[in-house]
Structure 1
Amino acid sequence: MSSAPVPTLPHHSLLVFLLQVAVLLLLATVLGQVAARFHLPAIVGELLAGVLLGPSLLSHVWPALADWLLPKDPGQLHLLDAVGQLGVVLLVGITGMELKFDLVRRRGATAVRVSLAGLLLPLALGVGVGFLLPASLIPGGTSTTVFSMFLGVALCVTAIPVIAKTLIDMNLLHRDIGQLTLAAGVFDDAVGWFLLSVVSAMATAGLSTATVAASLLYPVAVVAVAWLVGRPVVKRALRAAGRSASPAPTVAVATLIVLFGAAATQALKLEAVFGAFVCGVLIGTSGELDSKKLAPLRTTVLAFLAPVFFATAGLRVDLSALAVPTVLATACAVLAVAILGKFAGAYIGAKMSGLGRWEALALGAGMNCRGVIEIIVAMVGLQLGILGPETYTVIILVAIVTSLMAPPILRVAMARIDENAEAEMGLAGPRPRELTSPPTTSV
């Protein structure tokens, strides 16, 4: 006897889902363009779209509409989340494809010193602040240690897409300080995804000697297997897809590689974005990728899926939480630590490399951008139950403020740096031709 077929999606649920995606995309696109007009990252407008439709505004101004368009039914919200998760996995994959690891080799020890100092100091400060925050802000059942480690990771990340777009907009990508900032950011990004996967595994499996050891070894094993086994497979798949004059096979193969990688690390409880990032790096460093053929994928992700994801992330931001003195004080403290840690770390790394104070300030401003990466980290924390609504709002606030700070500080610092002095300090080196054109991940 055959089993009954699975019921299709109810008519009303489909209607609400389609309207949710359409309204979020419309508002995110419009506000993203408005932000760009004012020389702000588009991500600011895209997040604001969700904030306006979420508990911060619409739920207070027009609760009936908010309840109809964004019902509290988990099944309905999960449909929207699925679109957002697909968007973030592909966005992280594309980011991995476009990281230029030859920059790190070219800038050598200077990039590594700046990156390590700019990563370790905010990481340590973030962990320390996590232990000092009121217990009421830590979700029930979450270990204070895991929460503190997660906060450290959230504060130590750097957003390469925002840095690159800022440098391009300000015509600073050709400068040696600009390329050194990108090189240090590439290293930060790679280490940040690794740390996120480690903390996520700890949050899922619990804290014990065995689980901590496994949490550290699993990401290393994933990278090793990806490099030894996955790399030749990726090269052959991309080579076969590249024989077609149409971009469709290349887009399909790249998408499949990222999705399978994300599924593999999700199965290992290391978070899907880690696998997506590793596979994106494999694709980008394969030597077989025709980047022009990936244009349709980039356009789809950056114009449709990513804005919907960021708007969905904004839906969970409740700015009214900042009216609570404890939450407001926490937001100010975390923001101050995030900014101080990045600037002080980058400054220390720059001084260790013999750079001047204005060069150090410029590096600090660039490395301080959190943008898209911080938001992805915050969403992971929310999904794992490490962050509550209040701490999630605080992390999103850090992402926005630090991204807005970069352009004015960079403008002041770079105006005081002589290009000839950069060469005298040993920063100058051959510039890759591809970096003179804008990276496509500009969110």
Structure 2
Amino acid sequence: MTDVVLAAPVPPLGPHQLLVFLLQLALLLLLALALGQLAERLGMPAIVGELLTGVILGPSLLGNLAPGFTAWLFPSDSNQMHLLDAVGQVGVLLLVGVTGSHLDVSMLRRRGTSAVRVSLGGLIIPLALGIAAGTVLPASLMAGDTERWVFALFLGVAMCVSAIPVIAKTLTDMRLLHRDIGQLTLAAGTMDDAVGWFLLSIVSAAATAGVTAGKVSLSAAYLIGFVVLAVLIGRPLVGGAMRFAGRSSESGPTMAAAFVLVMFGAVATHSLGMEAVFGAFVVGILIGAPRAADQRKLAPLRTVVLSVLAPIFMATAGLRMDLSELRRPEIALAAVAVLALAVIGKFVGAYVGAKLSRLSNWEAVALGAGLNARGVIEVIVAMTGLRLGVLNTATYTIVVLVAIVTSLMAPPMLRWAMGRVTHNEEELVRLATHDAWAGRAVGAAVDR
């Protein structure tokens, strides 16, 4: 009889490792929520405060003031940091899935032509400027042995994305969702996001598969095949699963089903050599499709993601920033150049698309301002580049700075431009409907 040697059970986390992990989570979430609330009170997006959490606790500030404590709280031990990264990855996949579930396909169909023009302008011009910048930036901004063309293409993708979560929240907070420009900004931004995930997966595949044309083509074929299968097979499967979970009077089964489906979508694209966030985004769109899920039962999941998991992810993203890198003149100049190209490229692209759609100058300015908010999507792209070894700490810091600055610039620019665009009758009807939903006095404080 053959003796069977059983593998020893995997030991649990050590007491010290667990202590540090729990303290990391508690401190990061506490400070992220506090700074996020402070940022909103000051009229800034919450993401600014959440990212500053990592800046304060990371090498940029606390690492210089109290290096011993920082080394204890955030040790260089990869196993310890991977615990925090795992929580952040789950958070970002769910955040992207929730974002996808808010995509209004019917709105895209209604405003298709104008949205396509604005979206293409806002994608192509900053993408081209980013690629051009990536070909001339100093080699010190490239990580390891990264190919120059991969670095340039990745920088182009980072500069051409928008951020639907930030745009949607900004438009809501400013009471602009009922405006035609608000709807068009959301539609064009949704297209930018979808194409951005597509491009990110292509560039990620190129970074991991090498420069072989056959491998890159195969990765692109996988990507297209995944989208086709998601539409033909995934849509009825996801819809059926969500409707089955929705039979329960409780929200728990619906939330659990959405969680599982988003994770399986991420697994599918990740196993094909693409970015996991793309699969999560596509499945999120399927979950948000009409008659797929009871959106009211998904509200608790959104609350947990937006109030707990997303702030933790943003804080961990800030931990990897090192603002001391900006003391080097070549890094500071590169940061200014990348920021200027990102802002100008997105603004000019959206403006040109708007003018081709025969919109007024102020409407075109408003679109350029709204679509300039990169926010969370830019941070996800930057984290992906850091994880793949395409970006180093200096370049990562520059890209995240672009996300912060553009998210800060968008609200005042949007408010200034929209103050010069009068309401039409359809917008006033929409405003009354939105105010009724929100429990406000109907039509209050509208400047015609």
In 2: Cα distance, 1:31 partner to 1:411 partner: 24
Deviation at 1:419, TM superposition (A): 2.1
Alignment of 1:63 with 2:71, yes or no, is no
Deviation at 1:215, TM superposition (A): 2.7
Classify 1:356/1:428 alpha carbon distance in 2 versus 1 (closer, same or farther; 3 Å). Answer: farther
Deviation at 1:221, TM superposition (A): 0.8
In 1: Cα distance, 2:240 partner to 2:180 partner: 36
Match of 1:236 in 2: 240
Alignment of 1:194 with 2:198, yes or no, is yes
Alignment of 1:361 with 2:381, yes or no, is no
1:282 alignment partner, one of 286, 301, 305: 286
Classify 1:429/1:202 alpha carbon distance in 2 versus 1 (closer, same or farther; 3 Å). Answer: farther
In 2: Cα distance, 1:431 partner to 1:278 partner: 31
CA distances 1:110-158 after superposition (whole Å, capped 9, x unpaired):
1110111111110111011100101121112111101110100000001
CA distances 1:248-293 after superposition (whole Å, capped 9, x unpaired):
1100111000001101111112011011001101111152211110
Aligned ranges for residues 12-27 of structure 1 at < 5 Å? 12-27=16-31
TM-score normalised per structure 2: 0.94
Aligned ranges for residues 17-96 of structure 1 at < 5 Å? 17-96=21-100
In 2: Cα distance, 1:371 partner to 1:219 partner: 25
Gaps of 5+ in 2: 439-448
Aligned ranges for residues 400-419 of structure 1 at < 5 Å? 400-419=404-423
In 2: Cα distance, 1:314 partner to 1:288 partner: 36
Match of 2:441 in 1: none
SS in 2 for 1:94: helix
SS in 1 for 2:398: helix
**Deviating more after overlay: 279-288 vs 121-130:** 279-288
Instruction: Compute the RMSD of aligned alpha carbons.
Output: 1.8
Alignment of 1:155 with 2:159, yes or no, is yes
Alignment of 1:224 with 2:231, yes or no, is no
In 1: Cα distance, 2:219 partner to 2:140 partner: 27
Match of 1:269 in 2: 273
Classify 1:169/1:73 alpha carbon distance in 2 versus 1 (closer, same or farther; 3 Å). Answer: same
In 1: Cα distance, 2:32 partner to 2:265 partner: 29
Which amino acid in structure 2 is aligned with residue 389 of structure 1?
Answer: T
Q: Which runs of 4+ in 1 moved over 6 A?
A: 427-438
CA distances 1:345-366 after superposition (whole Å, capped 9, x unpaired):
0110011111111111000000
SS in 2 for 1:419: coil
In 1: Cα distance, 2:306 partner to 2:281 partner: 16
Match of 1:380 in 2: 384
Gaps of 5+ in 1: 439-443
Deviation at 1:101, TM superposition (A): 1.8
Work out whether residues 130 and 156 of structure 2, in 8 Å CA contact, stay in contact via their aligned partners in 1.
yes
Match of 2:103 in 1: 99
In 2: Cα distance, 1:437 partner to 1:102 partner: 20
In 2: Cα distance, 1:317 partner to 1:250 partner: 37
Match of 1:326 in 2: 330
In 2: Cα distance, 1:288 partner to 1:339 partner: 38
In 2: Cα distance, 1:170 partner to 1:430 partner: 15
TM-score normalised per structure 1: 0.95
In 2: Cα distance, 1:331 partner to 1:249 partner: 46
Deviation at 1:3, TM superposition (A): 2.1
In 2: Cα distance, 1:185 partner to 1:433 partner: 23
2:257 alignment partner, one of 246, 253, 260: 253
How many residues in Structure 1 have an aligned counterpart in Structure 2? 434
Match of 1:170 in 2: 174
In 2: Cα distance, 1:54 partner to 1:82 partner: 18
